A and B are shown apart, each in its own frame.
Chain A
């Protein structure tokens, strides 16, 4: 040994340091968290497809495996732990769906025996190496002593290896809530969305966007994250990108009211009234929570959509030629709802006559169309003129004679009778309307907004 370390020693130390450094960095730094899809795949590999021969849920393409994969995805999106998912599957399909044998009971042997065997094999190897050296040194120990030694060693190995095996079984034979085969759950997409909402609450828009982006990284199909990411984008002025996010959100979950509402607002801002109206109608057909209604009222979407629709409808009517030169309704590209909206708009700006004429023109092509008749009646009912009111009731009677459960006819006639002070008649119509299976939400709103229900029940 020289005093100074040789070049090779330094080389070894340096190599070991570099290796240990790189290894430690790579082992400690966690890298990006596993996405939900990656977790689903890892989980799917650990469960047996219940009807396939020796294939995992990940491998198999039979419908059951597909459904279990999809359900796993739902659970993972919900932020469930591996242990929860395992318990659900075992409760439904029995333990043999779990490829990870339990670490308790008889099955724990599958974990313990290899460790015991490894202990035994190691002991034999050590014995062989020792005998190689000791045979010459001490030719023959007493046979009794040899037996005792062997027994002591055997017991020691069984105890140590058995204990180690038990530990392996305990740690590996279960899916604890924290540790997970599908990758440690450091953060779930749900938590990120929650964090984003909190940031939004404190006005930290960039922070919220970052959190939503992270959530989308984990779960690209999160309707909530897509919706709010899109909404925040639209608040920053990028309407087209916002519309893409919102369209994705609607594709994922068509029944998510927030996405519909934001999409309507974005469409309005893009100047696309009809798209906004469509989204609003979709929103209305859902069961929106109170905060969404509030937001709706606040942003006056309904009014703006109505205004846009009126503007569109009026533009459509204005585009038509004068009454006597007009082609038949059926030859134009206008449809009945558009015509009704246009008539409403005309009446709204005071051109009642023009509105009625428009509907008459429609009726020439579509004689007896209940919607048009009801609309025409409704125009007359709202004129305030008692004569026209009576005429309007006639139209509505005709509609209801043809179809006693026409919702528009019932509601409009209830209003007419109310104006005629026929409260009982109005109540009867309203009750008939309430009995309908399918009530258009706009009519419902009309009834509420105008206080009809309160008026007839008094």
Chain B
């Protein structure tokens, strides 16, 4: 080994120093090790997705006027399965999803056991009217009170759908497009095993 310069080495050499340094280094090392452990076991933030707090909660109100000017209140449909569908006329996945909603509506329209209400998200009423004129579908589309509903359901983007059970509780949530069969499966499952 090299011979370190005396003076450079420093003067105060006390016997307890090394022990003290170890005592300081140990807790620091433990803390850093814990931090590394936590960081190493985290999933990527891109994959983490918090579950919605409104699942299992009483459905927030969906009330206001539809695009045809009729009053609407979700509570009037208590006792039925209800799909609350948030959409925007210009969003491509919404256009893709729409025929599925139409199919679902046709399946259940006669029996009246399940219904759909669409809620306009960040869009104009004219656009939405045109959207329904072009793509079909004949169910209430909430225009006024839509923003309150979207924020109350915690909508993060469109399309987004929530299934409200006959009891009035939100039981299922779908980010992105739904399919008619998909909803029916969920309903069947929940009916069989509530």
Contacts and interface: CB of A to CB of B under 8 A. Distances in A.
A93 B151 CA distance: 8
Interface stretch (A67-75, A309-317, A403-411): A67-75
Interface stretch (B1-9, B94-102, B126-134, B152-160): B152-160
Contacts of B72: none
A89 B154 CA distance: 8
Interface stretch (B50-58, B76-84, B181-189): B50-58
Interface in A89-134: 89-94, 96
A93 B57 CA distance: 13
B154 A92 contact: yes
B148 A90 contact: no
B154 A93 contact: yes
A50 B157 CA distance: 10
Given A67-B151, A93-B53, A50 B122 contact: no
Given A91-B54, A93-B53, A96-B50, A70 B154 contact: no
Contact of A88 (B52, B88, B151): B151
A451 interface: no
Nearest to A51: B156
B50 A92 contact: no
A74 B45 CA distance: 32
B104 interface: no
Contacts of B53: 90-94
A178 B150 CA distance: 27
A67 B121 contact: yes
Contacts of A50: 154, 156
A254 to B, nearest CB: 12
Contacts of A94: 50-53, 154
Most chain A Cβ neighbours within 10 Å, of B45, B51, B147, B156: B156
B121 A92 contact: no
Nearest to A89: B151
A51 B50 CA distance: 11
A66 interface: yes
Given A53-B45, A63-B121, A66-B122, A92 B151 contact: yes
Interface in B115-129: 121-122
Nearest to B144: A255
Interface string A56-87: 00000011101110110010000000000000
B33 to A, nearest CB: 18
Bin chain A's interface residue count. Answer: 20 to 34
Nearest to B151: A71
A313 to B, nearest CB: 31
Contacts of A51: 156-157
B50 A71 contact: no
A64 B148 contact: no
Contacts of A62: 157
A88 B88 CA distance: 23
B92 to A, nearest CB: 14
A50 B156 CA distance: 6
A64 B88 CA distance: 12
A148 B53 CA distance: 51
B177 interface: no
A74 B148 contact: yes
A88 B147 CA distance: 13
A53 B60 CA distance: 27
Contacts of B57: 91
Interface string A219-247: 00000000000000000000000000000
A96 B156 CA distance: 13
List of 3 A-B pairs having minimum Cβ-Cβ separation, nearest first: A92-B154, A71-B151, A93-B154
Given A63-B158, A67-B155, A70-B147, 18 more contacts: A53-B45, A63-B121, A64-B155, A64-B156, A64-B157, A67-B121, A67-B147, A67-B150, A67-B151, A71-B147, A71-B151, A74-B148, A88-B151, A91-B54, A92-B152, A93-B156, A94-B50, A96-B50
Interface of B: 45, 50-54, 57, 60, 88, 121-122, 147-148, 150-158
Interface of A: 50-51, 53, 62-64, 66-68, 70-71, 74, 88-94, 96
